[in-house]
């Protein structure tokens, strides 16, 4: 059975709000990085840019936003498609009978990948 | 000559559903799809479908016609037929009882969940609960829903989660009672909707608006519910 226990905020409203707010942060960060690249940059300038604390904080907020945004989105995808009745129509009885296991495995894999990128991103930014 | 292909399934005799082809001479008239079904039923009396008022009021004959949901009784052939071909299927996403007849239990269950009736814990007045013309106007575009299920069965979120997502029709009715000045259960109604599935499975693809035979806008109603949830929580 699909429950909300693995959702981000356990409430539809908080998940929805998290996805909107993180989307705005990601949009702002995308524009910022694109602008930097379009204006032309070499290694020295790029390094100097990321030496500034506010850029690191902005980058970290974008990284955290990516994790939260991806979790809410992929949780929705997994609870839409990796459920018993959908798998029974789209695949076969074998997979349908293992729907919960598949969904948890998918969510677990998403969680591990998100955590890996988060730790790696913090290392890159602050070391 | 109109080529009509109809989804057929009789669980008592058929191992699985199949499409059956019919030919019909419409005499050049722009018939409604329901008229076509009536004429085909004269050819093949085993064909099953629902119908009642035949004028877009009862909501019985919601069907999928050439890929789009609508009411057969108010859908003219000129609006749906492509290259003299008409494919008629039951409303998607609901279990088929027989041929074009679907089991609406899941749809009605979601409707029931929104408590589609006025709740007012104040003592009833001597005659009736009055409403200003402005407050009454807020119900326009909401109360007209005839529960034909065309919108909910056109919604992929309802296909994937028919047991948890209330669906556009039920949510339109949820907002119809949230918006009613005579209703006093706003807090309880909103609390019942604040889970990740009931409202928030709507991703705004707007199939519901595209197919509603009454021209209603469930997506806008869902937006109002979201805003109300946000206002109540902040």
Domain ranges of chain B: 2-102, 105-233
Does residue A1 belong to any structural domain of this protein?
no
Which residues from B are below 8 Å from A13, CB to CB? Answer: 194, 200, 226, 229-230, 233
pLDDT, residue A99, reads 86
pLDDT at A3: 65
Count of the separate structural domains present in chain A: 1
User: Would A18 be classed as within a structural domain?
Assistant: yes
Q: Does residue B181 register a pLDDT over 90?
A: yes
Whether B115 shows a pLDDT value over 80: the answer reads yes
ipTM confidence: 0.80
A42, part of any domain: yes
Q: How far is B40 from chain A (nearest CA, A)?
A: 31
0.80 surpassed by pTM: yes
User: Do residue A12 and residue B160 have CB atoms under 8 angstroms apart?
Assistant: no
Q: Answer whether residue B5 shows pLDDT above 90.
A: yes
Closest-CA distance, B60 to chain A, in angstroms, reads 26
Structural domain contains residue A2? no
CB contact under 8 A, B201 and A86: no
CATH number at residue A23: 1.20.1300.10
Buried b (16+ CB within 10 A) or exposed e, B103-121: ebebbeebbeebbeeeeee
Which residue in chain B is spatially nearest to A82 when comparing CA positions?
A: B160
Phi, psi of A22 (to 5 degrees): -65, -30
Structure tokens at B147: 């529960």
Average pLDDT (A61-77) is: 95
Q: Which CATH class is domain B105-233?
A: mainly alpha
CB pair distance less than 8 Å for B161 and A2: yes
Q: What residues make up the domain containing A50?
A: 12-126
> What pLDDT does A41 receive?
83
Please report which confidence band the pLDDT of residue B193 belongs to, taking 50, 70 and 90 as the band edges: very high
CATH of B2-102 among 1.10.10.10, 3.10.20.30, 1.20.1730.10, 3.10.560.10: 3.10.20.30
- Count of Cβ atoms closer than 10 Å to residue B149 Cβ: 24
φ, ψ for residue A121, nearest 5 deg: -65, -40
pLDDT at A31: 97
A6 belongs to a structural domain: no
A5 falls within a domain: no
Predicted confidence (pLDDT) per residue in B76-96, tens digit: 999 999 999 999 999 999 999
Identify the CA nearest to B146 among candidates B77, B53, B31, B233. B53
Query: Within a domain: residue A100?
Result: yes
- What average pLDDT score do residues B134-158 get? 97
Residues of A in contact with B164 (CB under 8 A): 2
Is pLDDT at A1 greater than 60 in this prediction? no
Contact between B148 and B86 under an 8 Å Cβ cutoff? The reply is no
Tokens (6 digits) for B190: 């909103």
């Amino acid at each position: 059975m699909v429950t909300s226990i693995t959702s981000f905020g356990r409430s539809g409203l908080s998940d929805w709000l998290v996805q909107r707010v993180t989307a705005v942060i990601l949009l702002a960060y995308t524009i910022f990085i694109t602008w930097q690249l379009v204006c032309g940059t070499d290694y020295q300038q790029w390094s100097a840019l990321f030496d500034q604390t506010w850029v690191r904080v902005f980058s970290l907020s974008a990284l955290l936003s990516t994790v939260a945004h991806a979790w809410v989105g992929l949780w929705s995808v997994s609870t839409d498609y990796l459920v018993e009745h959908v798998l029974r129509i789209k695949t076969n009885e074998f997979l349908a009978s293992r729907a919960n296991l598949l969904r948890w495995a998918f969510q677990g894999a998403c969680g591990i990948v998100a955590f890996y990128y988060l730790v790696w991103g913090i290392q890159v930014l602050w070391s | 000559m109109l080529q009509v292909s109809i989804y057929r399934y009789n669980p008592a005799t058929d191992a699985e559903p199949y499409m059956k082809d019919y030919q019909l001479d419409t005499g050049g008239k722009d018939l409604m799809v329901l008229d076509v079904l009536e004429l085909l039923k004269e050819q093949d009396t085993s064909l099953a479908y629902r119908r009642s008022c035949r004028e877009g009021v009862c909501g019985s004959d919601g069907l999928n016609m050439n890929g789009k949901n609508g009411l057969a009784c108010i859908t003219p052939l000129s609006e749906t037929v492509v290259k003299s071909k008409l494919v008629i299927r039951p409303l998607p996403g609901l279990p088929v009882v027989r041929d074009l007849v679907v089991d609406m239990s899941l749809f009605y269950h979601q409707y029931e969940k929104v408590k589609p009736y006025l709740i007012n814990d104040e003592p009833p007045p001597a005659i009736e609960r009055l409403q200003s013309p402005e407050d009454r106007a807020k119900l326009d575009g909401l109360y007209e829903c005839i529960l034909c299920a065309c919108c909910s069965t056109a919604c992929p979120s309802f296909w994937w989660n028919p047991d948890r997502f209330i669906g556009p029709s039920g949510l339109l009715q949820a907002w119809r009672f949230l918006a009613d000045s005579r209703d006093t259960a706003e807090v309880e109604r909103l609390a019942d909707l604040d889970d990740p599935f009931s409202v928030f499975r709507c991703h705004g693809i707007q199939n519901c608006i595209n197919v509603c035979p009454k021209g209603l806008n469930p997506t806008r109603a869902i937006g109002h519910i979201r805003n109300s949830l946000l206002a109540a929580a902040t």
